[in-house]
Structures are given as structure tokens and as C-alpha cells.
Chains A and B, each alone.
Chain A
Amino acid sequence: MTPTSWASPIDDVGLVPFGKGFERGLDSRSLCTRGVQLETLAGVGLPVGAGLTIPVPNVPGFTSPDRAKAAMNLLERISGREISGTTETGGLVLLRLSASAPVDAAGLPPDLVCLGLKRSVIPEGLGASARADLGAAWWKSAAFIAEYALGVPSDELGSLDIDYPDPVKRVEPFKRLCEEKGTAPFPTKRSQQVAAGAKAMMERWNSPRAARARKKQNLPQDLPLALHLETVVVTEHDDEGYGFAISRDMDSGSFAPNGAFRHGFRMSGERDAEGHPLDGLPEGVEMLTGVLAELEGRLKSAVTVDFEYGPDGLALIGLEELRRPNARVATSLAVDLAIRGIIEEEEAVGTTDPIHVVELLHPQPKLTGEERPLVSGLGASPGAAVGQIALDSETAVEMTEAGQHVILVMSETTPGDLPGMMAATGILTANGGSASHAAVVARGMGRPAICGASALRIDPEARTLSAGEHVLNEGDLVSIDGATGIAYIGELLIERPTPSPSLTTLLSWADDTRRLKVRANADNGVDASTAIDNGAEGIGLCRTEHMFMGDRLPFVRAVILSHDHEAEERALKELAVAQREDFRELLAAMGDRPVTVRLLDAPMHEFLPSSADELEDEHQARMLEHLHEENPMLGVRGVRLALMHEGLYPAQVEGLFNAWVDVVSAGEAHPKLEVMIPLVSIPDELVMSLRLIRRVNQEVSSRTGMIIPFSIGTMVETPRAALMADRLAQWAEFLSFGTNDLTQLTYGFSRDDVERRMLGTYLEKGLLTASPFAELDAEGVGSLMEFAVAKARSVRPDIKLGICGEHGGDPASIATCERIGLDYVSASPSRIPVARLAAAHARTRLHPSASGA
């Protein structure tokens, strides 16, 4: 509900005691957020604090002392306490005035926490600590009123603050300053103080500062305020105090009420986490636990409540919904609410942002129990990093220029160390907390950092660091975890964590909703296992390029450069044997799931020697010159290379089929093989490849006596392949859109050049709204795909259609895939959870009523 005008809906509605607004038919338009919070709190069974709301329509009149007096009289009746009087435990009863708007708004006037002090005299009867607190709180309220209601220049108030450090001694000069520079003396009567406080709040709300805050939040400038007047007891009695309780543990996300409380009285509207833990509350924490669970259910949000306690027990005085829960809290809350039956499982899935899943899988070191911790400190900037130790900024810069990864380790950092901090991949300091220079700068630059590792000693002369018994030299490898604050000796593997139980539950619900299958891009057994752990339903893209690099390179090079048929044959045999091993490991991890193997796709030049030193003879030198290409990515690549060297694909599939026979006959797995041909633009390229593959399939079958089922398919990476999808579908049992190349060729973009040189400008000018390589271009490339989908299905209705590459893990791109009716997406193993959730969202958005598989 967003009213077009914030002009008050109703006339004078009177003063509204906390918790009595809803029954008078009032809502946030007149009670504002704080009033509504107290209504909500009043509904959960615990008492709420004694106070009343001056609703929006009554606020303008409230700057009159008579109205303020009437409110004070009512408040005395509600609370049973005399304002400026003393409680049975010796506390002084004063007033707190606060403001809120009909919607959450920043830039509100501050709470005025102790109005009603008679003649501004801080009474002698209070204890020393209560007097000091009251003095500080009184000054804040008094200076605010003087500045905004009496027009006293803020600089002069600031000078007074500096000249008289003791607020008690500041009272008289302050009164004189108001008389000299203000429009009126500081009010002595309590009702005048309250009225002046209200006037100051209104002035502040109309100040340029508050106007700027409203503008920054896109809130209307005529947004009104309600005021709230409460009693506050200034005390230092052990049985009286205040605190807050939050419903969830921010680290785990689970329902675990926690918070802090303090003795004494609350001096500001801000919460103070440094108090006693809640289990030390005289009342115990159980009552708050029940309240928090009830409020979470009603508001469908993690919540914080503020409370006061005294001889009469607990009273709730504030409520805040956690508007932007972190990923852990959001997933855990959604799952808990669905399990409690408060929301549907589908709603739990729908309200979880796929970006949260990315956050939950933030990189961290892989711990095996074997690692050696070096030192621990404060996790000051999240993320993990590995690098060589540099002990000062200058060395860090030098080492980085030499191409090394560096962890800058220092006692503390100063602005002068900025060059080294920028050069480093991570930062470790011995001193300082989360607000230290190192922490603030590291977070600003997105570098993982640990600060305040106090056991760390640095010897700048010997160029060593020590922590306990460990001594390391500059240049030694260390790993840091900026989330846990632990540094380790040596290089740790950095990986993404596995999903939490809440996330696992949520993703299983997502699986019930989604239609798109989710597969993984994986080239080896380790990635394949990770992918399956993350919920992949098969492999959508196994690249074989890397299998040709390293010690295999000479074989491929021999095939391409050879002038001797026998040498070529020998090389191909070696290749087939090597590939058998590669595929064995991968297939063994896959159970009975489908595995799409893309045959060699790399451009030829990647296999050729880059310098004359690597050449074996004159013939190779001549061949190399002969094979030079102007544009290798559009040259002899993929199926084209395979058709020019007809032994290549047969050697690959021989390895593949043999590996399949190995794992099936050993009873390890029974995967469904899918062989995919890359970079096809002419349907006959597919036909010729298929013939080569079938021949090998029959050979391996007759040799092993096993029928090796496989399906054949092709990548759709060129616009021509998309336009001729019906012709391809006559032969292909599946098509997989390679949208990276398809995007390059549809736009005529060379990705590296465009991203490096042009993208920024294009985004700025609004020519593009996102990189088409990060988010699939639904309008252009998407239309081409839609056309291909229709063509392909017209020939082979049951053809399997998918997408592989980066887009397969991007939520917006997945939505496009759902819309054009693909069967699966294939994403990197770490993005599988994101893809599962995004696929469920895409389904629900397209078919709001659809649910269930």
C-alpha cells in the first residue's frame, strides 16, 4: 500500500496508549512503524512498556505545552508512575520521546532520552554511574533541543562540549548560551521541554539533512512523523535494566535466541551488544524464546526485540524485523517456517534468492585435519587466500611484480602500506580489530584479511615471523581464512563448502518444483563427484581438450604435423590408451547417469609449437608455416580439425567406449554415453563424424562382446547450426547450445576484446544492460535458440535440448532456458545448487500454479 499522499487520513484521533491502536482502527498511516511494532508486541502475551503514541494528525499540535502536559498526565495514569518522581528502588522517572514514520526510514530525529529533568538539575540522590549516564544523555537531548528548537549554532554547542568535559558543569554555561544565542531560554518546565523536544524533532525532520536522507531512499518529502512518549527509569539498581534479543544465530542462521542485557537505563536508541548474555537474565530466557518464535511466525521474518526489566518483570519496548537477512538466516528461516506450516514449501523456495546460495558457497580452505594452523585472530574480511609471506608493503609490491601471490603480514597497517595491500591477495596483521585500518581497507578492496592475530611476532631484521613455536621466513607459503580468522602454514586447497542441512532441504523442495534438469560441466572424477554431491543429474559437458595437453601434447602434435603415416598411427594408439584412463575415472563416478562427452573442440594452434626450439625437424618447420592461421578461433577447430585428421575422433571414442566397457564389466557404474560433436555448421559434418564413431563402436563391441549403447548429438554454436537445427535433428538425438560461441557469432563479438575494451562504455550508454556473456541475451540469441528448438522438435519431437557453459549457472539465463523449453542446463559443479534453485524459480514464474514434478 503506497498512498499517493502522506497527508493524514483522519483528523484528531487522540493519544494512543501502546497496544491500543489496532482496536481503534488505526494503522501505520497514523501510528507509524514504532506504533505498529508495539501493537504487534502487545499481541504476543508479554507486557509492553508504558507509553503512548502521538499519532500523525496530532503531531503538529503537540508542540504546545498544554498538549504535552495532557500527554504526560495520561502517561502517569498508564504507567502508575509519577514523572520526575522516584521509584521504590530509588530510580528517577523521566521521559523518552522518539519519532517514526509510516514506513521504515533513515534520517529520523534521534531519540530524546531524558526529558522532564526538573530545572535541568541532575539530582544528587542518584549513584555516581547513573549520574554520569544521565549527564551524558541529558546533554544529547538538551543540545538537540537547543540547536533545532532554539536555533543555537551547533558549533558553539560543540565548543561547550569540549570546554566542559563534565556535563554537570556544562549545565550553567549551556543555559547562558541559550539565553544569548537562542530564540528563547532553555525551557525549565517539564511540559515545555517535551513540547520543545517535539518542535526540535519536527525542525530536524524538515532540515536539509533529513530531506537528503528521504531523497536518497526515494521517499516522499511530505512523509509525516508520529511521536512516541514513554517513561524511562534512570537507575543503577541490579534488578533493573534493558537489553535486546535476536531470534537467530547470524553465523549458522538457525533459531537460537541470543542478545545482551545491561543494568541501568538505556541512554540511546541504539543497541549495545557488549552486555551480559541473556541466560543471566533474572527472568531467564525462556519467555523471550517463546515470544521470538511467535513473532517470527507472525511476521515471517527474523526479529529482534528490545526489552526492559525491573521488579515487575519483563516489558517489551521495541521490535525490528531483519529486513535483509544474510544467506544463512534467510534459508534457515524459510525452511523453518515451511516445516512449521506457516508457509508452503514452494513459497520457501520462491523467497530464497539464488544469490544467497552463491554466498553460502563462499570459497574457504579445504580442511583435512592434516593442516598446521599458524595463528588465529579476527576474521576481518571474508574469503580465503594463499600466498607467499611479504613482511612489508614494498616487498609485497616487488614480489607481486615478479608474478607471485603474496600475503602481506604486518604488525599493523597504515595508509603508507596501501600499495602493498593492493598488491597482496590477502592480509594478516598482529594488532587491530574489525575497525582497524587493515580491516577497513581489506574489506573495501575485497581482500581476505585476518586482524589482531596477537601471537604473531615479526622480526624485520631477520625477515621472519613467529607464532608460538612456528618460525617462517619471508617468501614461505601461508593460507588465510578471513571468515574464521585462522592462518595456516603452507598451501591449502581453496574450495567451496558443501550445502548446509537447511539448504539441502530447500534444494530438495526446489527439485520438486523445477522442470529443467540440471547437469554439470565436469572433466574429471573429482569434479564429477563434487557435482553429484551438489545434486547434478548427469554431466552435460565433459571437455576433452585438457586431456591432450601436458605429456599428451606430443601425440597430438605428431598427428597434426606428421608426414609419416606409421608415426601418426602410433600416436593415435597412444592417445586412445590415455583417453581410456581419463574416461574410466570420470565414468566410474557417474552411476547410471548420462554423460555427454564433447570430442576435441580446441583450435589447432593450441597444439602447435610456439617456438622454433620445439620443432623436431625441417618438415615440421615447413608444416608449421603452412598451418599458420589468421583467426584460429574461426579456423581449423572442432569437427573441422577432426575431419582433416580423421584418426582423431575415432581414437577418442575408442578410449571412451573401452572405458565404458571397463566400468560396466567391473560393475562400478552403468552411465548413459552421449557423444557430442563441436562446432558443426554443415549437417554433413555431423553425418561424417557419426560414421567414424559407429565404426569404432562396432569394433569395440565385437572385440569385447558387449553392446555399447550411445547417443549422438551436436553442439549448436554457430548461427548456421541453429538455422539448420531440423536438418541436424535428423541425425542428432540431442542438441546442446554452446551459448558462449553462439553469442560471439550472433553479435559478431570477440568476447575478450569486447569485454576488455567496450563493455563498460556500452553498459554506461545503456546499449547493453548486462554482459551477454554473463547473462544470455534473451531477445537476440534467445530468439535464435527458440527458432532452433522449434525446428529440431518438428523433426524429432523427443529430441533432448540443453545448454552448457557459463550461462547454465546464471539465474536470469536459466529463466530464458525455461521459457524456450530446453530440457536441461549444464553448469559448473559449484553452481549446481544455484541452478537447481533458479530452475525452480523459473518454473514457478512461468507457471505460477505449477507445482510438483
Chain B
Amino acid sequence: MAEVTLTDEQSEALTALVVRGMARGEASAVQQSLADAGLILVKGPIMMPTPAGTEHVGTMMRLADDAPERERIMATFHRFLPVNRQLRDLCTAWQVRPDGSVNDHSDENYDADIRDRLDDIDDAVGPLLKRFSEDIPSMDGYRARLTESLEKLDDGDDAWLASPLIDSYHTVWMHLHQHLLLTIGMSRKEDEELEERLVAGGSA
């Protein structure tokens, strides 16, 4: 692939899109320039990165193997993955009741319990995010975004927990997870295997 040189503004826009996976709405001038460069694909009202765009961001964000902060980040990441599993399980429970039926949100007791458990997860991720941000300054905004989604959830709109269509708690969490994977340079498959090992090891 030919070397692409991007302005800061372009880099930022491309990174945001790769982390989010997609965006809706009309392409901005910057996004259009990225589309012209073959780094993003504009399809009707939807924008997504092309494989070249994803690769570009991957190269740009990936921390050098010998970076001094890598070890610290990995240690925190190992603590993050079990919490990540808790969040995924919680989102599953939010959508599907333990017996496999769809959660229709008519059981206030059940939903209140899930919301309550989300606080435990949020408490656990707080100190981890603080550590990540010390080494990866671009991760600074996630704490506020998670809090914002919680506030909207508590304002009464259940979609703010797990809807993939808005910046719900789960969506923001997916973004921060993706951000970490790009920084570490780990594939999602490796990530899932590591998480499985950590969770299995933790409860043995």
C-alpha cells in the first residue's frame, strides 16, 4: 500500500471512525477527503472505514513493542478483560432473561437489578480507565462518555444501556475496548482468547 500522509484533522477523523466502526449522517469535508483517498467508504447515509483505512489507523495507533509504557498498559488490560466479560454478560442479561426468553423490560425488579449491577462494573472500570489515560492520553474522554450514558439511562430511556444505534454504555465501552486493541495491536480473536483464559483462571 502506498504511504498516505494525513493532516492532523484527517488522522483524528479517521481514527474516530475506525474506533466507532461506522458513522451516520452526511460526510464532512474532512471525511469526504478521506473517502477520496480510499480510506473511508460513504454509502448513502453511512460511513465506514475501508480495509486500507483500518490498517492506516492500526499502524498509526499501535504502540511500539519496546515502548516503556507497554508493560504497564498490558497489566491493566489483563485486569480490564474480566470486567469486560462482566459487562458483556450484563448486556446479555439485559436482552435475554436467564431462561432464554427476550427481556421485554416489563419486570422492574429484573431491570433494576441489572442497573444496580452496572454500578459495580462502572466502579471497577473507573480506576482502570484512570490508569489507561495516564499512558494513553487519547483515552481521556471515555470516563465522561460512560457517565453521560449512565445519566441518560437514569433519565428513563433504557436504550442508553445497550442499544448499538446510539452512544449507549455498551457502545462507548465497545469504542474504548477497540481503542485499547488498536493501541496494543491485538486482534479481536486474540483478545477473546485472552479474556477466556483470564476469566477461567480467575474463578478456578
A interface, CB within 8 angstroms of B:
104-107, 129, 154-155, 158-159, 161-162, 165, 209-210, 212-213, 216-218, 250-251, 272, 323-327, 329, 359, 382, 393-394, 397-398, 401, 411-412, 414-419, 431-432, 434-437, 439-441, 443-446
Contact = CB atoms under 8 A, between A and B. Distances in A.
27 contacts: A155-B127, A161-B127, A162-B131, A216-B111, A217-B112, A218-B108, A250-B100, A324-B97, A324-B110, A325-B99, A359-B101, A394-B43, A397-B46, A401-B44, A411-B189, A412-B189, A412-B192, A414-B188, A415-B171, A415-B178, A431-B192, A434-B92, A435-B88, A435-B92, A440-B91, A440-B162, A443-B102
Contacts of B126: 155, 158
Given A216-B111, A323-B109, A431 B99 contact: no
A444 B93 CA distance: 11
A161 B116 CA distance: 21
A217 B108 contact: yes
Contacts of A250: 99-100
B119 A209 contact: yes
B79 interface: yes
A224 B190 CA distance: 48
Contacts of B184: none
Interface string B94-115: 0111011110000111111101
B170 A440 contact: yes
Contacts, number: 134
B141 interface: no
Given A326-B100, A397-B46, A435 B91 contact: yes
A143 to B, nearest CB: 10
B38 interface: no
B101 A435 contact: no
B128 interface: yes
B85 interface: yes
B20 interface: yes
B48 interface: yes
Given A414-B21, A440-B91, A107 B113 contact: yes
B22 A415 contact: yes
A161 to B, nearest CB: 8
Given A162-B76, A415-B174, A419-B22, 20 more contacts: A107-B116, A158-B123, A162-B127, A162-B131, A216-B112, A216-B115, A217-B109, A323-B107, A324-B107, A326-B97, A329-B99, A382-B102, A394-B41, A412-B192, A414-B188, A416-B21, A418-B164, A436-B192, A443-B92, A444-B95
A104 B107 CA distance: 12
B175 to A, nearest CB: 7
Contacts of A218: 108
Contact of A443 (B48, B96, B113, B115): B96
The residue among B92, B107, B126 with the most chain A CB atoms within 10 A of its own CB is B92
B92 A158 contact: no
A382 B100 contact: yes
B192 A393 contact: no
B158 to A, nearest CB: 11
Closest 10 CB pairs of A and B: A415-B21, A416-B21, A106-B113, A158-B127, A435-B88, A106-B112, A216-B112, A443-B95, A326-B99, A217-B108
Interface in B48-88: 48-49, 54, 76, 79, 85, 88
Contacts of B85: 435
A445 B170 CA distance: 14
A159 B22 CA distance: 34
B188 A412 contact: yes
A213 B116 contact: yes
Contacts of A107: 112-113, 116
A567 B156 CA distance: 67
Contacts of B192: 412, 431-432, 436
A216 B21 contact: no
A538 to B, nearest CB: 34
Nearest to B171: A415
A269 to B, nearest CB: 12
Contacts of B189: 411-412, 431
Contacts of B174: 415, 437
Contacts of A416: 18, 21-22, 48-49, 54
Nearest to A129: B204
A443 to B, nearest CB: 4
A444 B115 contact: no
Contacts of B116: 106-107, 209-210, 213
A165 B115 CA distance: 27
Contacts of A129: 204
Contact count band on B: 35 or more
Given A329-B99, A415-B21, A439 B92 contact: yes
Contacts of A158: 123-124, 126-128
A435 B89 contact: yes
B12 to A, nearest CB: 18
Nearest to A158: B127
B20 A415 contact: yes
B114 to A, nearest CB: 8
A760 B94 CA distance: 25
Contact of B178 (A327, A414, A441): A414
B140 interface: no
B33 interface: no
A326 B97 CA distance: 9
Contacts of A435: 85, 88-89, 91-92
B187 to A, nearest CB: 10
B4 to A, nearest CB: 19
B154 interface: yes
A326 B112 contact: no
Nearest to A216: B112
A391 to B, nearest CB: 13
Contacts of B48: 393-394, 416, 419
A418 B109 CA distance: 31
Contacts of B147: none
B128 A441 contact: no
A216 B107 CA distance: 10
Contacts of A419: 22, 43, 46, 48
Contacts of B188: 412, 414
A679 B181 CA distance: 65
Contacts of A443: 92, 95-96, 102
Contacts of B119: 209
Interface string B190-204: 001000000000011
Contact of B21 (A213, A251, A418, A431): A418
Contact of A440 (B95, B108, B115, B175): B95
A443 B100 CA distance: 11
Nearest to A322: B99
A238 to B, nearest CB: 16
B162 A444 contact: yes
Given A412-B189, A415-B175, A440-B92, A106 B100 contact: no
A158 to B, nearest CB: 4
Interface string B10-51: 000000001011100000000000000000010110101100
Contacts of A251: 100
A161 B111 CA distance: 29
A418 B127 contact: no
A162 B91 contact: no
A440 B162 CA distance: 9
Given A419-B43, A445-B164, A326 B123 contact: no
Given A154-B123, A213-B115, A414-B188, A440 B88 contact: yes
Contacts of B22: 415-416, 418-419
Contacts of A210: 116
A326 B164 contact: no
Contact of A106 (B21, B109, B175): B109
Contacts of A213: 112-113, 115-116
